[in-house]
Amino acid sequence: PFQPPKWAAGLACPSTRVGLCHLPTPVEPLELPVANTTILLKRDDMTGGAELTGNKTRKLEFLLADALAKGCDVVVTTGGQQSNHCRATAAAC
């Protein structure tokens, strides 16, 4: 089962997810010489293949697990033209 982080203890967090992501994704440093600083980038673009990347895949893991737990056999979603969310949902199903 999914274990939410400690800071989310008081929230209504899901307990299961469908394994769609390749986790954990790396955190990489990016040097900013102009600002003389380094920032850390979370590489969510590496969560999966071309259709299943980023935060959409992370969200779908929980939404699809909930749908399966409720016995759903159809998933309906909406989005704008060329929606990445719709493409990811279709690929996951």
With 0-12 / 13-18 / 19 or more C-beta atoms within 10 angstroms meaning exposed / middle / buried, residue 86 is: middle
User: Residue written as tokens 């955190």?
Assistant: 27
> Of the listed 83, 84, 85, 86, which one is catalytic?
83
Q: Is 15 a catalytic residue?
A: no
Tell me which H or E stretch contains 80: none
Per residue in 28-81, pLDDT (tens digit) is 999 999 989 999 999 988 888 777 777 888 889 989 998 998 999 999 998 888
Identify which of 46, 49, 61, 60 has the alpha carbon closest to the alpha carbon of residue 1: 61
pTM: 0.73
Q: Which two tokens stand for residue 44?
A: 């969510």
Tell me which H or E stretch contains 28: strand 27-32
